[in-house]
Amino acid sequence: MTGITSFGAYIPVYRLSRDTIANAWGRGSLKGERSIANSDEDSLTMAVDAGANCLSRLDRNQIDGLYFATTNAPYKEKLCAGVIATALDFRNDVATADFGNSLRAGTGALRAALDAVNAGSAGTILVTAADCRLAYPRSDQEQLFGDGAASLIIGKEGVIAEVENSLSINKEIIDVWRNDNDRFVRVGEGRFVLTEGYMASMKEVVSGLLKRAGKKSSDIGKLVIPSPDHRSSASLAKGLGFDPEKQMQDPLLGSLGHCGAAHPLMLLIAALEDAGPGDTILMASYGDGADAFVLRVTQEITKFRDIRGVKANLESRMALSSYEKFLSFRGIVEAVSGEPFRLLPSASNYWRDQESILRCYGSKCNKCGNCQFPVQRICGKCHAKDDYEKIRYSDKEGKVFTFTRDQLAGRSDDPVVVQTVFDMEDGARFYLMMTDCNPEEVAVGLPVELTFRRIHEGADFHNYFWKCRPLRKGGIHNG
Amino acid sequence: MGSIKDSVAIIGMGCSKFGERWNMGAGDLAIESAYEAYEDAGIGLDDIEACYVGQMYASVNGIAGSTVAGALKLSNIPVIRNENWCTAGHIALIEAALAVASGMYDVVMAIGVEKLKDTGYPGLGTGRGMSPVYEARRTAPGSFGLIATSYFKRYGFSMEQGKEIIGRIAVKNHRNGSMSPKAHFQNKITLETVLKAPIIAYPLGLFDCCGNSDGSACAILTRSDHAKKFRDDPIYIKGFGISMDAGLPHMRPGFGWTSFEALKNSSRKAYEMAGIKNPREEIDVAEVHDCFSITELAIYEDFGFSPRGGAREDIESGFFELEGGLPVNSDGGLKCFGHPVGASGLRMTYEVYKQLQEKAQLPERQIKNAHRGLSHTFGGPPQLSAVGIFGNEKG
C-alpha cells in the first residue's frame, strides 16, 4: 500500500489584508488576507520549512528522495532540491529532482514520487512544493495569490492516506502563463480562461477519475480543488454533483491565497487535518490540463493531530503593516540592500563549510561534552583536537540570552536587524539574526527555533543560512 | 614571562586633529602626527631605524606599510604593519617597545593612521572578522549592544535606569572633550540629550556610540638610558598586556556577556609588569576604550577600577570625572575623538604622555600630580584587548 506517510505545511508569518492592497489602488477589495513571504524567504526556504515540519516523527536517514516543485525557483539553472535535501540533513545518496514551470508541478512531483515508491526504486520520498508568485500590481491575482509551502512524505510504511487511483489529462491552452523574461503571471481573457481552461480540464479529470475508480460523487468525503477565484471551484463541484457545503475543502483563498504549485498539496493537508479513518478524498490540480488522485484515509491519521499543518500555520500570524512593504520585499520597488558583509563572499568557502552553513551542524566534544556552533575542530573548553561528534541543531529550540536591535546594517525597507545570542539546552551558544519577529517584543528568555533563510547575494549566488525566530505556536516543530 | 619595565622611554609624540578630514589622505594624516613627534623628540626622519604601523582597513589606507612609508619617505628601514582590530595602535607601540628593548634599534617610530571616512559608511561597517555567512549584518554597535542588554538584565536595571547609568559616561567624556582642541566633537551634552537621542543598536543610543573620524598619532621610542639625551621629561613604559580571547567569547557556553577574559587578562598582565597592586589607587589617569558607553563601564569592573557590579556607584559619585579619584578619558575619549581604528591606541597614549608631563593641551584639563597613567584599546567582536602603563619617573 503506497500513500502519504506524513505531511507538513509552511505559511509565512506575514499576512496582508486585501483591503490594504485595494486601498493602495483605489479599487475593490476581494476581502480577507493573503500570506506574504518575508524579505529573506523564497520558494526554496519555504520548502525547507515545510519539509522540516513533515519530519517530526520520522528518522530523516530513512528518506531516499527529495522532489521539489515550484513555478518560482530561486535558480534558473541549479538544483534546488539538492540545497533543500542538504538543509534537511538528508543522506547524500538521495534522489533529487526539481519540478517546475506549471501549477501542476506539485502534483507532478507527487505522481513521480508515488510511481518511484510503487516501482520500488525508492522506499520513501519527501515531496515539497512551494510558491511565491508575482501578479501584476492592481490585478485580482495580486490579491488572490498567497505564498506558502506544503510537503508530503510518500512511502509504504505507516500510510495515513493511501493513494487508490489517479488520472492526468493534458489540454494545451494559453490561459495563465509567464514568458521566460516575465516577472508577473499573465492571465488571458477571463471567460476563455475560466471555461476552456480551469472548468473544462477539471470537469474532465474529476469525472474521468470517478469513472476510472468506479465511484460516484457521493462516495467522496471531500473534494479538494484549488480555485482561481472565490466562486469557480464551488460551481465546478456543484456541476459535478457534489454538495459544495458538505463535500468541499475550503480553497483557503480568504485566509491564505492561492499558493501556486504548492496549493493542491496545501489543501490536501488541510483536508487531512479534518479527516477521520475511512474517509475518501479526491484531490485535483489544474494547469494546462489536470492531475487528480483518490485517497483513502487510514487509522494512522489519528496519530497526526498535532503536526504543524495548515491550521497551526494559519493561526500563527503577524500583520504586515503596508502594501509598500510587500512590494519592496518582492523587489517590485527597490530597497537599499544595506551592507550584509565586508569580507569577500566566496563559493568555495560556502561549499567547504556547508555542514555548518546548510546542515546546521555544531560539534560536541567527546572528551568534555562542550557543545559549540559552528563546528570547532579544537574544543573551546578542554582543547581536545579533532575529537567531536557532529550535532544537527536545525531541529532544536533555544532561549534568548542577550540581543540588540541594530539600526545600521538592515535593508532600507526593514532597517532593524535583531542580532540574537541564544542558548540550546545542551549549552551550545548561537549568535544569529532573528527574523519574523516584532523587534520591540524580543526579550531575554524568549524561546526561539531555527529557520532557513536567504541572507545575502554575495559572490552572485544566494547565500542561505539559518536565522532564529520566536517559536511559532501550534503543532510540533521539526523536533 | 619577561618584563620590559622601565627599559623603554617615549621621547616624542604627535597627534593629528581628529575629525572629518575630507581633504587629507592617510599619508597627510601620518605627516601631521609624525612631524609633531619629530619636533617633540628633537629628531628627524633620518634618525628612525624602524617603524611599526597600526592600521585596520587596507581598503581605505592602502596595503602593508606602503602608505606611511611613501608619505613619510621611510626608506631602507623595516616598516611593519599590524591590523589587530581596535588595538592596532597599541600593538604598534608595544612592538616598537619590544624592538627597542631587544637592543636591535635605538630610535623607533610607532604610528597609527586610519582614513576611516573614506569607507563610505557611517561607522566601521559590517563584519566582525571571520565569515561572510555566519556574521552577516553584524556591526560594532550591534555587537556591543549585546553587553548592555546583558548587563542591565544581570544587575536588575530597567532600560531607563541602565541608559541613565551609561549615559553619564557619555556626558563625562563630552565635558572632557569640550576642553580638547584636537577632538572631533568639542561640545558638552546633557543627560537628557543622551536619553532622548535616537537608538542606534538597542539599548545604545546615538550618544552611547563613539564618533567616526580620521586621525593619526605617533610615538618615538628609545632605550631608557638614552632618553634624557633627547629630553628632560621622557615617559617610561612600565608595563603592557595583550590578550586575545580565542574562539570568540560568544562561542563559550555560559559566557555572561558582562565581563571579558581579554580585558581581565590584559590588565592583569600589565599591572604585574608595572608592579601595580591596586589600580584604583595607583593609577592617576586612564584612557580606556569607550567605543560605546557600556564598554567603558565593563572596563571599570574588569580592570579593577570598580568592584564587580559596583560601576554604577562610582559613575554616580563622579569617581571617574576629571576631579575624581581616577579620571578616565580626560581628553574626551573615543566618544569625542572618534575612532579611526589603528590610530586610537596611540592617540590615547598621547593624552597620557602629555598628562604625565603636565603638558595637557589646555590647563583646565590638566590632572594634578599624575605620575602613572594607563591607556587601553579593546577590539573585534569583541575579543582582543591591549593595555599600556606609563610613568614619568623610573621605579
Nearest CA in chain A to B159: A443
Sequence-distant (6+) residues with CB within 8 A of B210 are B290, B291, B292, B333, B334, B335, B337, B338, B339
Query: CA-CA distance, B119 to A462, in Å (whole number)?
Result: 25
The contacts found for A375-382 with CB under 8 angstroms, 24 or more apart, are A376/B247, A376/B251, A380/B246, A380/B247, A380/B251, A380/B252, A381/B252, A381/B253
Residues A300 and A164 occupy one common structural domain? yes
B334 within domain boundaries: no
Identify whether the C-beta of residue B343 lies closer than 8 Å to the C-beta of residue B349.
no
Residues A298 and A447 occupy one common structural domain? no
pTM of the predicted model, to two decimals?
0.94
B246 to chain A, any CB pair closer than 8 A? The answer is yes
Could you give the angle at the alpha carbon of B96 between the alpha carbons of B91 and B98, nearest 5°? 95
Q: Is B86 a catalytic residue?
A: yes
Nearest CA in chain B to A431: B250
Residues A234 and A313 occupy one common structural domain? yes
A478 within domain boundaries: no
Query: CA-CA distance, B376 to B383, in Å (whole number)?
Result: 14
Query: Distances in Å between the alpha carbon of A162 and those of A1, A215, A295?
Result: 7, 16, 5
Q: What is the mean pLDDT of residues A327-349?
A: 89
Nine-digit cell string for A478:
521539526
Residues A455 and A323 occupy one common structural domain? no
A337 within domain boundaries: no
Residue A432 lies in domain: 347-470
Task: Spell out a b/e string for A185-208, using b for 16 or more CB atoms within 10 Å of the CB, else e.
Answer: bebeeeeebbeebbbbbbebbbbe
Q: Is the dihedral of CA B344, B345, B348, B350 positive or negative?
A: negative
Q: Which of A329, A355, A383 is the last residue of a domain?
A: A329
B93 within domain boundaries: yes
Q: Measuring CA to CA, which residue among A105, A111, A142, A193 is closest to residue A24?
A: A142
Looking at residue A74, which CATH number applies to its domain? 3.40.47.10
Q: What is the pLDDT of residues B123-173, one digit of tens each?
A: 787 776 678 888 889 999 999 999 999 999 999 999 999 999 999 999 999
Residues A351 and A219 occupy one common structural domain? no
Reported in sequence order, the residue ranges of A181-264 that DSSP labels E, i.e. its strands, are 186-187, 222-224
Q: Measuring CA to CA, which residue among B304, B236, B205 is closest to residue B264?
A: B304
Helix axes B88-101, B341-356, angle to 10 degrees: 60
Residue A214: Cβ within 10 Å count: 8
Residue B225 lies in domain: 8-119+212-230
Number of independent structural domains in chain A = 2
Q: Do B199 and A405 touch (CB under 8 A)?
A: yes
Residues A232 and A135 occupy one common structural domain? yes
B105 within domain boundaries: yes
Q: Which of A272, A297, A329 is the last residue of a domain?
A: A329
In terms of DSSP H, where are the helices of A335-414? 347-352, 354-357
A442 within domain boundaries: yes
Query: Distances in Å between the alpha carbon of A43 and those of A10, A14, A420, B76?
Result: 11, 15, 25, 60
Beta sheet of A318-319, edge-to-edge order: A33-36, A14-17, A318-319
Q: What is the pLDDT of residues A274-313, one digit of tens each?
A: 999 999 999 999 999 999 999 999 999 998 888 899 999 9
Q: Measuring CA to CA, which residue among A265, A269, A219 is closest to residue A240?
A: A219
Query: CA-CA distance, A244 to A235, in Å (whole number)?
Result: 8
Residue A457: Cβ within 10 Å count: 12
Residue A182: Cβ within 10 Å count: 10
A108 within domain boundaries: yes
Q: What pLDDT was estimated at residue B254?
A: 83
Residues A373 and A288 occupy one common structural domain? no
B159 to chain A, any CB pair closer than 8 A? The answer is no
Looking at residue A464, which CATH number applies to its domain? 2.40.50.840
Q: What is the mean pLDDT of residues B76-100?
A: 97
A370 to chain B, any CB pair closer than 8 A? The answer is yes
Strand partners, A70: A100
Taking CB atoms and an 8 Å cutoff, what residues of chain A touch B147?
402
How large a percentage of chain B has pLDDT more than 90? 90
Q: Do B137 and A353 touch (CB under 8 A)?
A: no
- A457: phi then psi, degrees, rounded to nearest 5: -115, 30
Q: What is the pLDDT of residues B33-62, one digit of tens each?
A: 999 999 999 999 999 999 999 999 888 888
A340 within domain boundaries: no
A479 within domain boundaries: no
Q: Look at the block and give the residue holding cell 489529462.
A: A169
B14 within domain boundaries: yes
B146 within domain boundaries: no
Looking at residue B50, which CATH number applies to its domain? 3.40.47.10
ipTM over 0.95: no
Residues A312 and A372 occupy one common structural domain? no
The whole-chain average pLDDT of chain A stands at: 96
Residues A406 and A284 occupy one common structural domain? no
Q: What is the pLDDT of residues A170-203, one digit of tens each?
A: 999 999 999 999 999 999 999 999 999 999 999 9
Q: Which of A329, A356, A383 is the last residue of a domain?
A: A329
Query: Distances in Å between the alpha carbon of B163 and those of B60, B145, B294, B381?
Result: 34, 11, 9, 22
Number of independent structural domains in chain B = 1
Q: Is B336 a catalytic residue?
A: no
Q: Is the pLDDT of residue A479 over 60?
A: no
B217 within domain boundaries: yes
Cis before A374 (ω within 30): yes
